[in-house]
Every structure is written in C-alpha cells, then in structure tokens.
Amino acid sequence: MATAPAPIPRSGPVARALGSPEALALGDLRRAPLRSRPQPSRLDAPITALRGAGPRLSAAAAELHLSTLGDLLLHVPHRYLDRSEIRELAGLRTGEQATVEVEVRSVRVRPTRKRRLRIVEAGVADRSGPMTAIWFNQAWIADRLAPGTRLLLSGKLERDRFRVAEYEFVEGGSGRHTTGIVPVHPAGEGLTPKRIRDWASQVGSLARHAIEPLPAELRARRRLAGAADALAAVHFPEQLGDAERARERLAFEELFLHQAALAARRQGRRARRPGVDLGSPGELVADWLGSLPFELTGDQRAAVEEIDGDLARPEPMQRLLMGEVGSGKTVLALFAMLRAVESGYQAALMAPTETLADQHAATLDRLLAQRPLPFALLTSATPAARRREALARLASGELRVVVGTHALIEPEVAFRGLAVCVVDEQHRFGVEQRAALDAKGPDGAAPHALHMTATPIPRTLSLTAYGDLDATVLHELPAGREPVDTWVVGEEKRAGAYEFIRARLREGRQAYVVCPLVEQRAASERSPGPARWRKLEAKAAAEEAERLRATEFADFEVGLLHGQMPAREKQRAMKGFASGATHVLVATSVIEVGIDVANATVILVEGAERYGLSQLHQLRGRVGRGEHASQCILFADPGSELARRRLSAIEQERDGFRLAEVDLALRGEGEILGTRQHGLPRFRIAELPDDLALLTDARREVIALRDRYGSLEAPELGPLLDAARRRFGDERVIPA
Ligand code: ADP
Ligand code: MG
C-alpha cells in the first residue's frame, strides 16, 4: 500500500540542508552514491552507502545499533543547539556561546605551555572588528584556513579569544552544523555528533520514502503529522517546538508498531495451535479448594476465575501471574494443574533452581494433604533409577504431575498428555527453554501455560515486554501478614543487630543471614565469568557461617546454603531450617526466591547496597510469612547518592510494584535487574517510563483497530503489520 510521498519543505533548515525541492530530486541524490531513484528499500542499504562512511566508521555505527540508512533515520537527536542567530564579534560577552560569521586574516599553529597539545590560532574578523579564534589539538585545520576564507564558527568567547566548537565554510558548507537549530545525535566511540549530523542530512533526503505505517484515520483523529514530515523535522527542525512534536509522533509510531507486532504474534499463536479443552472444574478441584487450610484472598479468587476462563477457551492459555512475594501463587499453580489432572491430562511445574523445585514439591505435599495424588520430582539430582521410572510413568500417562527444574525440558522427557505447564520465576528461563516445555503438548496442541513471577514488573515494562500475554496481578497478601520492619544500618549497629537476633532466637524464631554479592568488577580482575563470582560468594558464605558459629551464634545451630553445594547438601540444609533444627541460615542470594519458612522472622543482609531493589524486596519477602512480626536489617555502605536513595526507598516502601517503579525511575529502564531477560525491546525513539502515556495510548489504539477490523491484517490498515514486523519482527518474546 504505497502512500503519496510527503511534500518536501520549501524553506527553513530542512530545505537548506537538503537543497531546493527540485535540486533535491536530482542534485543531492546525484551527489550521493545512490544512483537510482530511491525506493523504500533504499532505507535497507548499509551505512557504507553514505559519503564518508568507511568500514571503521560503520563499525563504530554498529556499536550504536545503526547498520542501515533506515536505522539512521530513526536515530533521533537527543538535544538541539539553538544557533539560529548569527552574532557580531564585538557584541559577545565573556563566556557566551554564539555563532559568528567571519573572514580569516592569518593562521598559525603553536604549542601550548605544556607542549603536548597544539593550538591553531586564526586571526579572524567580521564587520564589527577582529578577534582571535582558537582550536585545540587539531593542527591539521590550519591547512584548510587560507586568508580570505569565510567561516561560520560556533563556540564560546573565552576572555579575549573565541574558542571554536564547530566550524563550517561559508562557501560549499551547508550551515547545518553552525546555524539554525542544530541537532545533536547520540554519538559514540569514534563517531562524533558532527559526523552523524552529516549522515543524517544525507539520509534526510530519504525520509520522504519512509513508509507511513499509521492508518490515515488514526493520524487525522490524533492530529499526527506524516511519518516523512516528522522524520525530517526531528532531525532538522525549524523550531524547537517542531522537534518535540515530531519526536512524540515518532515515539508513538514506534510504540504503536511494537504493540501491533505483539498483538499479531498472539493472534498467530492462537490460530496455529489449539489448546486442550479442559471444560469446567469438577469435583476434584472443588473439593480440594474447600479443603485448603485457609481462605483464598480476593485477588486469588479473581485469579482462579481468570484461569478458569482461559482453560475453557479453545486457544491455549498464556497468562502471566505477577504476585508479590508471599501472595500465594503456588495455590494458583496447583489449581491450574489439578484442572488438567481431573480431565485426565498431565501437568508440569518448572522452577529455576533445585532448591525451589524441592520447596514446591514440599508445598504440593502439604497442599494436597488428604488427596494422594502421585507426583514426581525431577531435577539433575534425581538418581538415575528414579529418573528412569519417572520418565516411563510420564510417557505412559500414569504419572499426572511432575515438578522439576530444567531437567523437565530435556528431550528424553515425554508426556502422554501435557495440558498445563506452570513456569515459576519465568524470567529466569530463556525463551528457548520455555518454548521447549511448550512443545511437549499432546500431538499438535499447546499446553495451557501459566508464567509466574514474583519480580514485580512495572506497568511500563509489562506492557512492552508482555503486551501479548494476559496478566493477572496479586497485590493482596494473605490475611494476618504484617509488614516487615526494615532498617538500613551501618557498622556501628552490628553488635546490637546480633543481640536483637539472639533475642528473637530465644523466643523460638529463626533468622537468615545473607552474604554480600561479590562485586563483579573486583572479581573479574582476577578471572572473568560468573562461575568465579559464585565461587567467591560461596566461600564468603561458608566463612561467615563458620565465624557466626564460633562467635555471635555460638549457642545456636547455624546452617549454610549456597549455590555451589551439592544438591543433597542443599536439601539437607533446607530441611534442617524448615524443621527448625537449625536456627540461623547463612546463605548467598540463592534464597532470594521461593523459600518459605513461616517461623523465620529476621533477615540480615550484608552489603545491601550491592543488591538491586527488586532483589532486596525479594530477600525481605523471606520473612513476614507467618503470624509473628518480622524485621529486615540491611547492612549497607551507601557510598553514592543513588545508593542512598535506593536504600531509603526499600526502607520506606512495602509495595514491590511501586519499588520497581522507583527502581526504574532511579536507574533507567535498561538497568533493572533482569530487564534483558524480560525480553524488552530496544526502542530507538520512545523513552520509558517517560513515554508511558504514549505507550498506553498506542496499546489502546492497536486493540481498538484489531477489534474494529477483526485483524490487523485487514486491507484497510495498509502497511501497518508489515511495518510492525519489519521493525520488531525478530524481537523475542514468550514462547511463540
Ligand atoms: P509466593 O507467591 O511467594 O510463591 P506462596 O505460594 O509460596 O507465595 O505462598 C506463601 C505462603 O502463604 C504459603 O505457605 C502458602 O501456603 C500460604 N498461603 C497462600 N495463600 C494463602 C491464603 N489465602 N491465606 C493464608 N495463607 C496462604
Ligand atoms: Mg513462589
């Protein structure tokens, strides 16, 4: 669906940069190494198609994720310099930034006092008088400045000299670096803003060939400029206001296309593979719900209904269950699994660590108390004979439920009829791993999938990363849970902290001591790779357990848990703590997820400043799980202002979702722990969370269009879906 080329601006810096419209059609392109009339596919040409882009510069561009001309067009300025006024030399004040137009009178190169740098000094003048212009350390410039040369200089008056930041020749120069509103694009190692600006002006002439992906009706209603105009204006705006409007237009388009790609993928997934029909709940499940030792919370009840709704539909469930630590997700997992069992199918629960899988097995035991439902635990620690037996019974269908780790997705594991799979802490698994479990459904059908996470994902991220999943959030904690008192303290409180913990232990409670993360930088000096840090962390934890055993907690049983221990020992450590035989569990961050010992009421975290906010919140969630008041003591050396603000957030904020928003705001989207695993796309223009309003609008518009036309592929919608796939087609999300 071709759209008419957008009009080319006839005046202003865009036109100046591009030449007159007529010249543009021939001239500018004739000079560019683009021989034929550019087609939209021109935008797919590599960066090297530009003048002055050799292998070295295009490698530098690749670092900025710029490989095609189209990429460059979407690489929008992050700020603009207002050089719209040309000033006279005599009117400048010291320290003032300005653009001046001068003639060169004389040139010389001289060393600085330290002799390492060289300075180019040019005597220049305009109507208002003479001045010395200087360039630092660019001696070669001197050769280009013959007396009589006319120059545009942008820079700053330093005392009596004009220090040049950028210069251009009046003859043959475009003025685009020194006059008007000058864009500054994000630059990188070996690639200056000036170079990118020059490139941007070359591809600017291709902007009018950009496909317009937004339906005309939508553009008219939201008063959005055309794609081509917006692209031209964002790179070379006539006024600053134009630039911001254009950026917003393009950010909206980007988010809109991403949402469209997610919606299309979801539609495709549903069309491709049917789910397994599980009907409605029967006696087994109803009975079981009635037998639970507690009342479901309101959020849990709502989730049960949503899951039921999913299971009754012909397409496979793809639901993301986000629940605060301790919000009771396991009951819901079990609910979905039992629905499969009662219809004669099988269910699997996959967890990222052995400890967690063990823990789930124990919970299942407990929650299924009076209902002998055979299930197996399958991890890499499962003895070979037991494993063989379990595999045989899974393949025959005799074994209905299996709980395990990555061991579940190995090729030898086959099911007779896997109808429900639950993935706990789903972001800890790779896309392929989740897909491998998904592929184990009965001939051609996809199992219903429930993806669980206790890492709260702020709305901004969940809409982008998981826009194609249904989401359920458990905000409410089971009744009777008290908020965990949280204290961030320094070394001076150490003796007091141990005394406090001993007092709780004497009351019969238990405690965790979590050792610091090994600082990756320090560790990597000796050896790269996470295996090494984990070893160091394990060693530190073992030493700390030893120390506490001998000193502070000499009167108590101290256990040790870290990721490097053999599975058997880990199990023993967990059992000892769960049964109350050990009073204090010294651990690395392996206890972050899933461990559930209601009698543990104090958690002490060492080196808290090294942990992410979400991680600290997870750790804190290990306590406050029972009837007793609980405390979280964070030993921290804040160091930076940022660390101080993050620690004060964890001290004051109890809601994990709000904490995640704070984390996002403080650290920026890319930095959040696990963001990469969440499959977040890299947006070129949109900035999250700042553009959240645009994102929610874009999502609403996509859903409205899909509902109106039945599909995003409707001819009325033009090239929308093509454009979406081109932009985000290879983005990886949850199992397709
Ligand atoms: P998480 O969401 O962190 O995985 P769990 O499913 O492990 O939480 O639940 C934490 C604890 O709360 C478990 O011991 C579980 O049995 C218990 N629990 C779950 N739902 C309720 C409820 N509605 N009322 C009381 N306790 C509950
Ligand atoms: Mg859990």
Q: Are residues 512 and 624 in the same domain?
A: yes
What is the domain extent for residue 131?
A: 85-178
Q: Are residues 534 and 410 in the same domain?
A: no
Give the list of residues 6+ apart from residue 352 with CB closer than 8 angstroms, or none.
405, 406, 424, 425, 428, 429, 593
For residues 557 and 310, the model is more confident at 557
Q: Is the CB of 208 under 6 A from ligand 1?
A: no
- 386: in domain: yes
Average pLDDT over residues 314-319: 86
Q: Is the CB of 339 under 6 A from ligand 1?
A: no
Domain boundary among 594, 622, 653: 653
Q: Is the CB of 300 under 6 A from ligand 1?
A: yes
Q: Are residues 169 and 211 in the same domain?
A: no
Average pLDDT over residues 408-436: 88
Q: Is the CB of 359 under 6 A from ligand 1?
A: no
Count other C-beta atoms under 10 Å from residue 618's C-beta.
23
Helix, strand or coil, per DSSP, at residue 598: coil
Domain count, the chain: 4
- 697: in domain: no
Q: Is the CB of 329 under 6 A from ligand 1?
A: yes
Q: Relative to the CA of 424, which ligand 1 atom is closest?
A: 4
Peptide bond into 193 cis (omega under 30): no
**What's the pLDDT score for residue 89?**
94
The band of 448, judged by pLDDT with boundaries at 50, 70 and 90, is: very high
Question: CA-CA-CA-CA torsion for 684, 686, 690, 696, nearest 10 degrees?
Answer: -140
Q: Are residues 294 and 320 in the same domain?
A: yes
Q: Whose CA is nearest to atom 9 of ligand 1?
A: 328
Q: Are residues 324 and 371 in the same domain?
A: yes
Distance between CA atoms of 265 and 451, rounded to whole angstroms? 17
Q: Whose CA is nearest to atom 12 of ligand 1?
A: 328
Q: Are residues 220 and 304 in the same domain?
A: no
Count other C-beta atoms under 10 Å from residue 265's C-beta.
20
Q: Taking Cα atoms as reference points, which of 559, 733, 701 lies closest to residue 256?
A: 701
Relative to the alpha carbon of 364, which ligand is closest?
1
The band of 366, judged by pLDDT with boundaries at 50, 70 and 90, is: confident
Q: Work out the percent of the chain whose per-residue pLDDT is above 90.
A: 42
Q: Is the CB of 478 under 6 A from ligand 1?
A: yes
- 96: in domain: yes
CA separation (Å) from 114 to 117, 133, 134, 139, 163?
A: 7, 20, 17, 16, 19
Rounded to 10 deg, the angle between the 227-235 and 240-272 helix axes is 130
Q: pLDDT per residue over 328-360, tens digit each?
A: 899 999 999 999 999 999 999 999 888 789 888
The CATH code of the domain that includes 559 is 3.40.50.300
Amino acid symbol at 135? W
Q: Are residues 120 and 189 in the same domain?
A: no
- HSE (CB half, 13 Å, CA atoms) of 660? 23
**What's the pLDDT score for residue 444?**
76
Q: Relative to the CA of 331, which ligand 1 atom is closest?
A: 6
Q: Work out the percent of the chain whose per-residue pLDDT is above 70.
A: 87
Distance between CA atoms of 429 and 722, rounded to whole angstroms? 30
Phi, psi of 414 (to 5 degrees): -125, 145
Model pTM score:
0.63
Q: Whose CA is nearest to atom 23 of ligand 1?
A: 296
Q: Is the pLDDT of residue 732 over 50?
A: no
- 196: in domain: yes
- 261: in domain: no
Q: Are 103 and 133 in contact (CB under 8 A)?
A: no
CA distance from start to end of the chain: 28
Q: Are 460 and 451 in contact (CB under 8 A)?
A: no
Q: pLDDT per residue over 91-121, tens digit each?
A: 999 999 999 999 999 999 988 777 677 899 9
- 667: in domain: no
Pairing mode of beta strands 118-126, 129-136: antiparallel
Q: Where are the extended beta strands (E) located within 582-725?
A: 584-587, 600-605, 631-635
- 8: in domain: yes
The CATH code of the domain that includes 140 is 2.40.50.140
Pairing mode of beta strands 600-605, 631-635: parallel
- Residue 327 CA to ligand 1 center (angstroms) comes to 6
For a substitution probing ligand 1, which of 334, 595, 596 has the most ligand atoms within 8 Å of its CB?
A: 596
Phi, psi of 496 (to 5 degrees): -60, -40
Q: Is the pLDDT of residue 12 over 60?
A: no
Q: Are residues 433 and 505 in the same domain?
A: no
Q: Are residues 372 and 465 in the same domain?
A: yes
Residues with Cβ–ion distance below 5 A, ligand 2: 594
Rg of the chain (C-alpha set): 32
Q: Is the CB of 75 under 6 A from ligand 1?
A: no
Count other C-beta atoms under 10 Å from residue 91's C-beta.
11
Q: Are residues 28 and 135 in the same domain?
A: no
For residues 176 and 579, the model is more confident at 579
For a substitution probing ligand 1, which of 289, 292, 295, 331 has the most ligand atoms within 8 Å of its CB?
A: 331
